[in-house]
Structure 1
Amino acid sequence: MKCVFCKLGETHPRRVTVEKYDQAGEVVALIQNFPAEVCAYCGEEYYQAADWAKLEQLLAEGEPPARTTRIPVYALSA
């Protein structure tokens, strides 16, 4: 499909890593191999609602993660 963001590129199916945030804006999970359509020109990612629903169900059921990791957080001063 034509990218609706840049209007220049075509999208292609890929597997990407996405971040899932809570309401406070904190990352609660990294999801690897998530299906997406990715623009070859600008890199914009498009996801299917059904895939997000599967992810929400997986997290709600308390499925154990494939692995856990510690992520350092940096902040630039204003």
Structure 2
Amino acid sequence: MATLTIGNLDEHTKAQLRIQAARHGRSMEEEARTILRAAIEATQPTGAGKGLGRRIKAHFAQLGGVELALPNRSSPPSPAQFSQEGSR
């Protein structure tokens, strides 16, 4: 783990950090780590760690879904036919 020293921290901020840490039952160091983690996570893009499809779905989810009527098949599906002509 890395060590970070924060210089020139004013006494009021240090006191507020101490009070907040005590309120959460943590050390000042752990409170500072928690605050830094939350600040970094808040600046990350919303879709970080998701695939493109999931990000698109999340982006448009608030608009609601669309149900499309599917036509009945008139004949069974058949596989594509490929010829060997012209292939090299």
Q: Which has the higher contact order (CA 8 A, sep 6+)?
A: 1
Superposition TM-score, scaled by structure 1 size: 0.25
Higher Cα Rg, which structure: 2
The structure with the greater share of residues assigned to helix is 2
> Going by fraction, where is strand more abundant, 1 or 2?
1
| TM, length-normalised to structure 2 | 0.22
